[in-house]
Amino acid sequence: MAPNEVLYVKPSIRKGMLPKMLEEVLNARILIKNELKFIQERLQSETQPISRITEKRLKALKRQLDILQLGLKYIANFTYGYTSANFTGRMPCIEIADSIVAKGRSKLEQTIEFIDEWGIRSGTNLKVIYGDTDSLFVIFPKTSVNDAFQIADFLLKEINKRQPYPILLKLEKIYKQCIIVSKKRYCGLAYESPKQSQPIFDAKGIETVRRDSCTITAKIIEKSLRILFESKDPGEEPKSKERIPYVIIDKDEDDSGRKQHIRVADKVKEPFDLLRDRKLQIDANYYCRNVIIPPLARLLESVHRNALNILNRWLQEVCDSHKKINVNVDRNYLSNIDYICRANIFTEKWRQYCSKNPRKIFTRPSIMIGNALKANGRKLKHLEQICSQCTGIDLKIIGSIFEKDNQNIDAGRWPKCMVETCSILYLYEQIERDFVNLAFLNRVISYQANRFECLN
């Protein structure tokens, strides 16, 4: 007898038509889902790497199998829908539809009661936080992913012992982080097996998978959720009295672009922000006036009582001379004087010497820049070897990886460590920037030399 008080014949006496059909459909879906799980493990396996061609084929096969299992799921769901469609359906039978819903609800309630009681008895504090139709979400407080899989396998065995055939509860996935918005709308980073090294982003019912949502909306929401899930680390929250590395950047405008006095707190950045954004510059004036000069003046006051004023005056003279240099550089762009031969470009002297010998104009700077490029390249290689010894990363292996992707392991292409106290890291970044700037100047000089030859 079903929970809605409808009597059915036992399968040992006579098996119904719908159970026969649905058993074949669901068994086929189970086989396909097992194959999908195997493909997913193969794609994420670190011990058995696969080629790019094999990876593409497996991903294509995975998409096809996923569509197939989804179609079988819809067939099973539509079968239930036909039994409850008493107005438009061709095979309506309300008693069967009500029995399915009532039986599913009673089994879910029994499972929820068992899990909650076991969580209290075992001290693990397991608790069901969401249940719908044929699925349950159980929270595992303060439990790792591997331990969660072990506990879930144990619970499945205990629960399935109490279920009649063919009712079977299965573990679908473990969410490391999860957001449940409402009924049938949730997302998270999912592990489908304990062997899986990296979680996959899984979503149901939200805008990232809905066909009626805008593409840009889906991409932005998925990117935001990934950042939220992957950066949610309680260890990143600073503790009381913990030292946090920071730098003061040169900033004379607020967020709206207006020039005004900026608080020091608004100019604070992480050291790695300087490496990521090359537009940021250290506020050298702040460090000289507030970090370097005061302690230096305290030491030098034993020699000269006006040491602080002298150092401040010296700093002001340096800043003024720096401004004059910048002004002179700007004026050179508006000057008619050739910076190589120091002659006016509208005079006969310039026409006789420089205009007829365009290569002589660029030979010396081209050689100087070429030598500087070689020197910086050697410095970068030397620093890469130091970092390789420190981090244990073999540059030959990294180089072979880039060669497979048809790339070169040039400046900035090798993996760097991220230790904010490492002086080699910032030295490498500075030399790398000089290398990029020199390479740009070299291209500009070559372009101008070719242009002069064409004009002549």
Q: pLDDT (tens digit, 0 to 9) for every residue of the chain, 456 residues total? A: 777 778 888 888 888 888 888 889 989 998 998 898 888 888 877 677 788 888 888 888 998 999 999 999 888 888 888 888 777 767 788 888 888 888 888 888 888 899 888 888 888 888 888 887 778 899 988 888 888 898 899 988 888 888 887 788 888 889 988 888 888 889 999 988 888 878 888 998 888 888 887 888 888 888 888 888 877 656 666 667 777 788 888 876 655 556 567 788 888 888 878 777 777 888 888 888 888 888 888 888 877 888 888 888 888 888 777 665 554 444 444 455 555 555 565 566 655 655 555 555 667 677 888 888 889 888 888 888 887 777 766 655 544 444 444 444 444 444 556 677 777 888 888 888 888 888 888 888 787 777 666 655
Count of domains for the chain: 4
Write down the pLDDT at residue 282: 84
Residues 85 and 187 in one domain: no
Write down the pLDDT at residue 278: 74
> Quick check: is 126 in a domain?
yes
d(CA 66, CA 37): 10
Q: What is the DSSP string of 147-191?
A: HHHHHHHHHHHHHHHTS-TT-------EEEEEEEEETTEEEEEEE
Residues 355 and 448 in one domain: yes
d(CA 20, CA 6): 20
- Domain closes at, from 50, 71, 91: 91
> Quick check: is 414 in a domain?
yes
Do the beta carbons of residue 387 and residue 428 sit within 8 Å?
Answer: yes
> Quick check: is 23 in a domain?
yes
Do the beta carbons of residue 69 and residue 61 sit within 8 Å?
Answer: no
Residues 126 and 75 in one domain: no
- Domain closes at, from 91, 108, 135: 91
Write down the pLDDT at residue 348: 61
> Quick check: is 6 in a domain?
no
Which of 285, 19, 291, 264 lies closest to 164, judged by CA? 19
Instruction: Find the CATH number of the domain harbouring 103.
Output: 3.90.1600.10
Residues 104 and 221 in one domain: yes
d(CA 156, CA 111): 10
Residues 356 and 426 in one domain: yes
d(CA 301, CA 114): 78
- pLDDT tens, residue by residue, 54-73: 888 888 899 899 999 999 98
Do the beta carbons of residue 346 and residue 336 sit within 8 Å?
Answer: yes
Do the beta carbons of residue 94 and residue 84 sit within 8 Å?
Answer: yes
Mean pLDDT, the chain, as a whole number? 78
Buried b (16+ CB within 10 A) or exposed e, 342-370: ebeeeeeebeeebeeebeebbeebbeebe
Write down the pLDDT at residue 32: 93
pTM exceeds 0.75 for this model:
no
Show the domain range for 41.
Answer: 17-91
Residues 79 and 126 in one domain: no
Residues 104 and 86 in one domain: no
> Quick check: is 5 in a domain?
no
Do the beta carbons of residue 75 and residue 32 sit within 8 Å?
Answer: no
- Rg over CA atoms, the chain: 35
Q: Between the CA of residue 117 and those of 107, 108, 110, 113, 127, what are the distances in Å?
A: 16, 14, 11, 6, 9
Do the beta carbons of residue 291 and residue 325 sit within 8 Å?
Answer: no
> Quick check: is 12 in a domain?
no
Q: Between the CA of residue 434 and those of 317, 414, 429, 441, what are the distances in Å?
A: 27, 17, 9, 10
Residues 187 and 286 in one domain: no
Residues 294 and 383 in one domain: no
Residues 116 and 82 in one domain: no
What are the tokens at 127? 């608790």
Please give the order of strands across the beta sheet that includes 185-191.
174-182, 185-191, 200-204
Q: How many CB atoms lie within 10 A of CB 50?
A: 13
d(CA 178, CA 190): 8
What are the tokens at 450? 């070719």
Q: Between the CA of residue 257 and those of 152, 252, 429, what are the distances in Å?
A: 55, 9, 28
> Quick check: is 375 in a domain?
yes
Enclosing H/E stretch for 192:
none
- H helices of 49-128, in order, are 52-84, 94-122
d(CA 415, CA 326): 36
d(CA 452, CA 259): 42
Residues 204 and 292 in one domain: no
- Domain closes at, from 91, 111, 146: 91
Distance of CA 6 to the CA centre of its chain: 54
Handedness of CA 15, 21, 23, 27 (dihedral sign): positive
Residues 363 and 447 in one domain: yes
> Quick check: is 83 in a domain?
yes
